[in-house]
Amino acid sequence: MTKQHVAFKLNGKQVDVLVEPRELLVHTIRESLSLTGTHIGCESSHCGACTVDLDGKSVKSCTVLAVQANGSELKTVEGLADAEGLHAVQQAFIEEHGLQCGFCTPGMLIRAYRFLQENPNPTEEEIRWGMSGNLCRCTGYQNIVKAVQSAAQTLQKA
């Protein structure tokens, strides 16, 4: 099969990569671009461990072909922090103990990042609904909800 040239902006930097036409975006991110923060979980869109931000939307990269990202802007968990430090969502997950094993955390962080842009002042119920596409097998979600609430407060002050 002939590989295809795909170009997109990844965490603020332009990248060009050759991909198989049927290659999933999660595999391109992890294997071709060596960004392993995006995790492969269920490979059926149920768990959300592979969540990335694609053109301003949370998507599960296990269900997107890499060729579909051509010309897009993509943010992975590696793109949340900047030279000034951790993003408010990352800091809140640390402070509120919103993680245990850490497997779901990259997808949770990216979804929380986008969710708080969609709804900067959410209620607890809205957070639970907004994060419902990302599963955590360890925490029981209480501290994840607290972390998203904390990040929302921090972002509102900024």
Q: What residue segments make up the domains of the chain, in order of their start?
A: 4-79, 88-157
**What pLDDT does residue 140 have?**
81
- The pLDDT of residue 45 is 85
Measured distance CA(72)–CA(85) in Å, rounded: 25
63-121: pLDDT as tens digits: 999 999 999 999 999 999 999 999 999 999 999 999 999 999 999 999 999 999 999 99
DSSP for 122-136?
--HHHHHHHTTTS--
pLDDT at 1 exceeding the cut of 90: no
CATH code matching the domain that covers 4-79, chosen among 1.10.10.10, 3.10.180.10, 3.10.20.30, 3.40.50.300? 3.10.20.30
| pLDDT at position 131 | 97
Annotate 73-111 with DSSP letters as a single string.
Answer: EEE-GGGT-BTTB--HHHHHHHHTT--SS-SSHHHHHHH
Query: How many residues are recorded in the chain?
Result: 158
State pLDDT tens for residues 113-145.
999 999 999 999 999 999 999 999 888 899 999
Q: What is the mean pLDDT of residues 52-72?
A: 98
Neighbouring-strand partners of residue 57: 54
Query: 88-157 domain in CATH 1.10.150.120?
Result: yes
Between CA 28 and CA 45 the distance in angstroms is 17
- pTM for this entry: 0.95
* Angstrom distance (rounded) from CA 153 to CA 98: 16
